[in-house]
Amino acid sequence: MQPFAPLGRDVRLRGRKCGHSPGDTPANDCQNDATWHIAWDTAMENGYACDPHMTVARAQYVFVAAHRIGPDCGMPGALWDFDNNRCTCPDEQPCLTTAAEEPIPA
């Protein structure tokens, strides 16, 4: 038996909705907003799950990684950041800080 979840149809047009769909039909799609982003396999096929269906996924399947939904999940060009357990856009710039110095009067 394959330990990875069987991949279903492309549901990207559903936005950040849970991808659970018994029978892989639109009539059975979970209507909950997703709370988890899951990397299903080493090819980085990924999807979303709500809390109850993430519990099901953890109990039934092996997956590469998962993290809570963040602002960059699903954005064009976003990359999975395994070190920080989140998605990130590669064009993010570090915050720049400036400071003005004024001499202390003697």
Task: Output the CA–CA distances (angstroms, integers) from residue 41 to 12, 59, 95, 106, in the order listed.
Answer: 17, 16, 33, 66
> Are 86 and 70 in contact, with CB atoms under 8 Å apart?
yes
For the chain, the structural domain boundaries read 16-88
Q: What is the pLDDT of residues 2-31, one digit of tens each?
A: 677 767 766 666 678 898 887 777 778 899
- Residue 22: the pLDDT is 77
Q: Which residues contact 27 (CB under 8 A, 6 or more apart)?
A: none
| CB half-sphere exposure, 17, CA atoms < 13 A | 15
- Residue 7: the pLDDT is 72
- Residue 96: the pLDDT is 44
Mean pLDDT, 10 residues at a time, the chain of 106 residues: 69 77 80 93 88 93 93 88 89 51 64
